[in-house]
Amino acid sequence: MISEHLAATEIRRVANFIDGQYYKSGPGTKTFELSYPATGKVNALVEEADAVAVDAAVMSARKAARGPWPKMDANTRAELLYKVAAGIEARFDEFLAAEIADTGKPVSLASHIDIPRGAANFRVFADIIRSASTEAFQSLSPKGDVLNYSLRKPKGVVGVICPWNLPLLLMTWKVAPALACGNAVVVKPSEETPSTATLLGEVMRDAGIPDGVYNVVHGFGGGSAGELVTQHPEVDAITFTGETRTGEQIMRAAAKGVRDVSLELGGKNPGVIFADCRFDDAVDAAVRSVFVNCGQVCLQTERLYVERPIFDRFVAAMKSRAEGLVAGDPWDKATTMGPMISHKQREKVLSYYAAAKTQGAEVITGGNVIEMPGEFAGGAWIQPTIWTGLPETSSVVREEIFGPCAHITPFDDAEEAAAMANATPYGLASMVWTENLTQAHKMAAEIESGICWVNSWFLRDLRTPFGGSKASGIGREGGLHSLEFYSELCNVCIQL
Ligand code: NAD
């Protein structure tokens, strides 16, 4: 159970939340430890859900999905989702503490993005379900008038498998529309970040969401709770955010029973900066898009293509801004750079830092760990890093690194920039900076990505389609697109 006032350093116990309450652990319950990423000190003990616990969660969801919840008037469900949003806000400080304890992300970030968006997701999808309509057709058959209309029905039980980089934000992005449509969910948060999903169970209960509509099980992926959820035959659909390789495994699991999947996967996102751009704004956006959340954002830019006349100036500006980032206590408002989520993830990113050097990159800045003083010495700190000079075939330029780093390549014309931007198996997001409107529209059409930001980055209107093309995912969520995934349309045909 999560204690009322979380401190990043106290050891707390995180339990599974099933059927409206904390699941009672038995003597054989396995637990695993979590460490505070900023210090490396153990700060939580998480109860791992075994097959019995996962089955209890899924069957509780099944019961709720057959109960009054899906039949409830959409306005009533929307009111409850508003209460959930208010409940998150009422316990804002606890959510903030839980998110920082799990991730070590700076308070300036978590308090402005993660927790507010967690609440906003519920309000947005409450509003959307209130106004959602379906189509109707009137026609004439040889026997007279015919009316066709569609009923929107929930899918039933949805398995929600989440990553660790934006735990509350990405989880509620899926849970809110799933509940709005009348489904029940079994959430499997990342093993690295179980706390805010668990705390949300209390908020759901207190808001009056019926027992079993929202369940949380903890554990790992393959051979653990993640796989148990995706393979459970009573799970009707699976929504997943995470790595492309895991997405492939989940798709295979979903094939059994021909269940629907929504996959939001990895990326290797390009940013194309033309010489006519608003230089300072473009640098600002590039800095945020490379380094925010220590580079652990799926929409992060890891490849920058800069038109040759401004290349040197742009690289110099990125160097200076990267070196101005402040790594420090996540709770200090002046901190702009937190640690990585774990030492394991840092090792992975460092292997790319080493590969860049071996492959002949010019290291413009960074390339190493950060040696932090005092209690932070054991944290997973890493330097923000910029490279130039690698060929486009380099693994550093081709593979998703998911760290605070980017490679910058010069280009001479739009065609060359688009070709380089598209030379990747991924297609999640892109960013284009130019004052030439025609150029901007042409590039947005040319670049193969699910999202293209022009003269902006990470500006999100939650009603718009969100998702990746190519190896970055299947399907779109956001606004009405989420309703498409979290509900089934049943056509009713009446001979009048
Ligand atoms: P991951 O794929 O390792 O894990 C994600 C979740 O899947 C975890 O909860 C994990 O326990 C679970 N899992 C792992 N194997 C499983 C299996 N066989 N069956 C069922 N569940 C399984 O991803 P991660 O390291 O947590 O997150 C980082 C990745 O997520 C990056 O690739 C990033 O680009 C991607 N991401 C994508 C988006 C997007 O919207 N496209 C958003 C955020 C993160």
- For residue 466, tell me if it sits in a domain: no
How many domains is the chain built from?
2
Residues 461, 459: Cα–Cα separation, whole Å:
7
Report CA(242)–ligand 1 centroid distance (Å). 2
- For residue 436, tell me if it sits in a domain: yes
| Statement to judge: residues 249 and 388 lie in one domain | no
| Statement to judge: residues 293 and 235 lie in one domain | no
| Statement to judge: residues 104 and 48 lie in one domain | yes
Residue of 102, 186, 246 with the most ligand 1 atoms within 8 Å of its CB, for mutation: 246
Query: 35: domain CATH number?
Result: 3.40.605.10
DSSP string across 119-161: HHHHHHHHHHHHH----EEEEEETTEEEEEEEEEEE-SEEEEE
Domain that holds residue 451: 269-461
In this prediction, the residues of the chain whose per-residue pLDDT falls under 70 are 1-9
Give pLDDT, residue 27.
84
Give pLDDT, residue 5.
36
Phi and psi, residue 213, nearest 5°: -70, -35
Q: What residue owns the CA closest to ligand 1's atom 13? A: 221
| Statement to judge: residues 248 and 370 lie in one domain | no
- For residue 454, tell me if it sits in a domain: yes
Residue of 161, 173, 259 with the most ligand 1 atoms within 8 Å of its CB, for mutation: 161
Say which residue the tokens 């934000």 belong to: 169
| Statement to judge: residues 337 and 368 lie in one domain | yes
| Statement to judge: residues 320 and 448 lie in one domain | yes
Query: 436: domain CATH number?
Result: 3.40.309.10
Say which residue the tokens 């997001």 belong to: 429
Q: What residue owns the CA closest to ligand 1's atom 35? A: 242
| Statement to judge: residues 311 and 351 lie in one domain | yes
| Statement to judge: residues 167 and 289 lie in one domain | no
Report CA(335)–ligand 1 centroid distance (Å). 27
Give pLDDT, residue 102.
98
Single out the residue of 324, 323, 284 nearest to residue 301, CA to CA: 284
- For residue 372, tell me if it sits in a domain: yes
**CB 226 less than 6 A from any atom of ligand 1:** yes
| Statement to judge: residues 235 and 380 lie in one domain | no
Task: Report residue 486 as tokens.
Answer: 């979290």
Task: Report residue 443 as tokens.
Answer: 């590039």
| Statement to judge: residues 255 and 317 lie in one domain | no
| Statement to judge: residues 181 and 135 lie in one domain | yes
| Statement to judge: residues 204 and 117 lie in one domain | yes
- For residue 279, tell me if it sits in a domain: yes
Task: Report residue 67 as tokens.
Answer: 């109960």
Q: Tell me the pLDDT tens digit for each residue of 194-227.
A: 999 999 999 999 999 999 999 999 999 999 999 9
Residues 145, 343: Cα–Cα separation, whole Å:
67
Report CA(230)–ligand 1 centroid distance (Å). 13
- For residue 467, tell me if it sits in a domain: no
- For residue 143, tell me if it sits in a domain: yes
Give pLDDT, residue 25.
83
- For residue 56, tell me if it sits in a domain: yes
